Structure 1
Amino acid sequence: MNSELSERLAAARRMSGLSLQELSDRMGNAVSRQAIHQFEQGKAKPESDTLLLLAKALGVRLDYFYRDIAATVTLEKIEYRKKQKLTKAEETAIHEKAKDVLERYFELENLVDAQLIFESPLENVIIHTQNDIEDMAELIRQKWQLGMKPIPSVIEMLEEKGIKVLEIDASESFQGLCANANGSLVVVINQNDDDVRKRFTAIHELAHILLTFAENVDTERFCHRFAAALLFPRQSVIEVFSNKRKKIALAELLQVKAYYGISIQATLIRLRDLDIITDATYKGFMIWMTKVGYRKKEPGIYKGVEKAMRFSQLLYRAAIEEVISLSKAASLGNQTLTEFRRTLAGTNNIKA
């Protein structure tokens, strides 16, 4: 059996998060656990109808198994933002999904000669205190000419700076990670999260990329503060809420969420961290939010859009300018040729 085919089959199973037995069970045991193991080891070759069954069970297109790989992708220096502990299978699935997208992303960049290199706006600074975090957030806003206004799209900002942002389908246990992949910086976020959480997670991961932390500091807490400080800068917080408050109205927090794209809970933490409200006021508001169910499902609407766009923009440009064929573009976009033609024509979402 072709070694590339066996490796692709194994990678597809890891992406699905399935064990050998679970994959066999999903196929109604039409293919045994032992047979799948033989296929992955390259000791046997699946018949075409068996490969079709495997593709369907794994949720990949048949051409995934035969797609040429320009370069093997390796993820290094991985930093996670987690709500709870991921299982080993979940971590592996996330890594494989990210590598699958990156394989196509790197190939597309090479074909259209559109590589971007990230340049940090910060020199070697060691973060010791939360005041250092505030200073760095303000410095980055200055260096990137963001002013004090809300950031329209965090993902677009990172992509323009040369960071690859990937959105992958994952369980709610996963929120985000950053990594180095073949010399490029990558941020991976959960496509199922709402836009407010995507914004916060993406900047949390940016903190891991930009900042060097002193020993014995709570790195995750500092990254959280950095995300809040970049989304809702200290000067703006004081302008909106003033220096000291005894009480906060929900209506105020809803306005901030709608305008700055930061959650109510993150804003409350921000107000406490900046000593605008006391710890008692913060705790009292959070207890009330728990009672009315707002901790699990927060009210308020943010109308901005957070979506990774650079890959698709490069793909459409390459196809329409005939840098690559439509069939090649469809393969890179993980679509059938018919699907890609409809996407390119903008007719996928138009009802007849």
Structure 2
Amino acid sequence: MFAERFTRARKASGLSMQALATAVGISANAIKKYEHGTAMPSSSNLLKLASALEVRTEYFFRPIKVKLEGVEYRKRASTPQKILDRINGDVLDQAERWQELLNFYPDSIKPITPFSLPSTLPDVIDSYEQLEDVATTMRNGWGLGLNPIHDMIDTLESKGVMIICTDVETSKKFDGLAGNINELPVVVISTAQSGDRQRFTLAHELGHLVLHNRLSEELDEEKACNHFAGAFLLPSTSLIQHLGKSRTQLEAQELYMLKHEYGISMLASLYRASQSGVISHQTQKNMFIWFGKQGWRTQEPGEPYPHEATYLYKQLVYRALSEDYIGISKAAELLGVSLSSFHKERKLEVLNAAATN
């Protein structure tokens, strides 16, 4: 148990064995032995290691363990393994707290809705064009209609998908990942990404859940998930209502307004216009080149779409506290804050102080 947790904490910190050894004043060989499980640190070194890795000493001996399975990363090819290790450590730590929290709830109470897909989805999808109907089926099955989805995180959480936001600095080389914990679907997104990119990642990972074992061998799953994501966020019917059925050209301002109404990037809206037949592929290609000359493929103009955040975990901590499933100390521990900070937050003192400033 100790060796596995120690290794995870070290990788999550981004420190090499040598860097950690130097920080605590021991040899790199000792660190190696700790990770291989052939030695244990003394009490004094354990305190130093915990401090250097920014964890509590009890973290190394925590009995609860979870496995994140079926992991698929949405990352750049150049993403360093060190960044992926840090993300993996952060995700597992958050997932463990999630699992511990859920275990406090009585078996008769299910605080998270079991994930399920509409029964009307097709068994086989053999063309990318068919994904337009698949996205509409998902929206109808979940009662979303064709209007903008104002909160993707809340929408997915209400349907039984666990969302984890990681604050690990990734230099924008990581968008998200999907997997499952004890058969519960999990999607991880980076807080460093813009709001519209977060939303596209969420829709893309939903695509994996929807399209799994449904695509014919001729279709590329990543391409299909991208198409599904665009159609789910901005349905063709809604797009045509805004832009018209057939256009020879589009104004950048039209794409900008779509971005802020539907929470989808201008570039993705441009692709959707081509996929929906509003503009020709050549027009889309020409505008894509123009976007590049303007520098908009790197950073789109105007106000960015706001980030999304998850509140479900925190809500369930307070719900468990209110129902006496957990005590105050455990609530503070689950939220990763000190008791004094938790007392202030619980009494809304932080909000009151902000309102008076």
TM-score normalised by structure 1 residue count? 0.90
- Contact 1:17 1:93 (C-alpha < 8 Å) held by counterparts: yes
- Contact 1:178 1:209 (C-alpha < 8 Å) held by counterparts: no
Q: Distance in 2 between matches of 1:88 and 1:127?
A: 35
Q: Which moved more, 1:293-302 or 1:231-240?
A: 293-302
Q: 338, 341, 344: which is aligned to 2:340?
A: 338
- Contact 2:208 2:225 (C-alpha < 8 Å) held by counterparts: yes
- Deviation, structure 1 residue 313: 0.7
Q: Distance in 1 between matches of 2:247 and 2:335?
A: 51
Residue 98 in structure 1 maps to residue 100 in structure 2: no
Q: How many residue pairs get matched? A: 345
Q: Which moved more, 1:189-198 or 1:6-15?
A: 6-15
* Percent of residue pairs identical: 37
Residue 35 in structure 1 maps to residue 30 in structure 2: yes
Residue of structure 2 in register with 1:178 after alignment: 178
Residue 80 in structure 1 maps to residue 73 in structure 2: yes
> Which consecutive unaligned segments of at least 5 residues does structure 2 have?
none
Q: Distance in 2 between matches of 1:16 and 1:209?
A: 31
> Which consecutive unaligned segments of at least 5 residues does structure 1 have?
none
Q: Distance in 1 between matches of 2:53 and 2:295?
A: 37
- Contact 1:155 1:306 (C-alpha < 8 Å) held by counterparts: yes
Cα distance change on mapping 1:268 and 1:138 into 2, 3 Å: same
- Deviation, structure 1 residue 92: 3.4
Q: Distance in 1 between matches of 2:326 and 2:265?
A: 42
- Contact 1:73 1:99 (C-alpha < 8 Å) held by counterparts: yes
Give 1:183's aligned amino acid: E
- Deviation, structure 1 residue 66: 4.1
Cα distance change on mapping 1:49 and 1:335 into 2, 3 Å: farther
Residue of structure 1 in register with 2:123 after alignment: 125
Residue of structure 2 in register with 1:163 after alignment: 161
- Contact 1:258 1:300 (C-alpha < 8 Å) held by counterparts: no
- Contact 1:261 1:302 (C-alpha < 8 Å) held by counterparts: no
- Deviation, structure 1 residue 115: 4.2
Residue of structure 1 in register with 2:287 after alignment: 285
Q: Which moved more, 1:145-154 or 1:339-348?
A: 339-348
Residue of structure 2 in register with 1:258 after alignment: 260
Residue 144 in structure 1 maps to residue 177 in structure 2: no
Residue of structure 2 in register with 1:10 after alignment: 7
- Deviation, structure 1 residue 85: 4.4
- Contact 1:133 1:222 (C-alpha < 8 Å) held by counterparts: yes
Give 1:109's aligned amino acid: L
Q: What does the per-residue CA deviation read over 1:125-144, in whole Å, with 9 as the maximum and x for residues that have no partner?
A: 22221121101001111111
Residue of structure 2 in register with 1:242 after alignment: 244
Aligned to 1:177, the other structure's residue is in SS state strand
- Deviation, structure 1 residue 327: 1.1
Give 1:199's aligned amino acid: R
- Deviation, structure 1 residue 302: 5.8
Aligned to 1:148, the other structure's residue is in SS state coil
Q: Distance in 2 between matches of 1:126 and 1:16?
A: 44
Residue of structure 1 in register with 2:104 after alignment: 111
- Deviation, structure 1 residue 206: 0.4
Cα distance change on mapping 1:346 and 1:36 into 2, 3 Å: farther
Q: Distance in 2 between matches of 1:101 and 1:160?
A: 19
Q: Which moved more, 1:94-103 or 1:341-350?
A: 341-350
Aligned to 1:146, the other structure's residue is in SS state coil
Q: Which moved more, 1:142-151 or 1:11-20?
A: 11-20
Q: 45, 48, 52: which is aligned to 2:47?
A: 52
Give 1:200's aligned amino acid: F
Cα distance change on mapping 1:132 and 1:328 into 2, 3 Å: same
Give 2:49's aligned amino acid: L
Give 1:237's aligned amino acid: L
Aligned to 2:349, the other structure's residue is in SS state coil
- Contact 1:78 1:177 (C-alpha < 8 Å) held by counterparts: yes
Q: Which moved more, 1:111-120 or 1:144-153?
A: 111-120
- Contact 2:116 2:159 (C-alpha < 8 Å) held by counterparts: yes
Give 1:96's aligned amino acid: G
Q: Distance in 2 between matches of 1:233 and 1:213?
A: 20
Residue of structure 1 in register with 2:60 after alignment: 65
- Contact 2:176 2:189 (C-alpha < 8 Å) held by counterparts: yes
Q: Distance in 1 between matches of 2:289 and 2:348?
A: 47
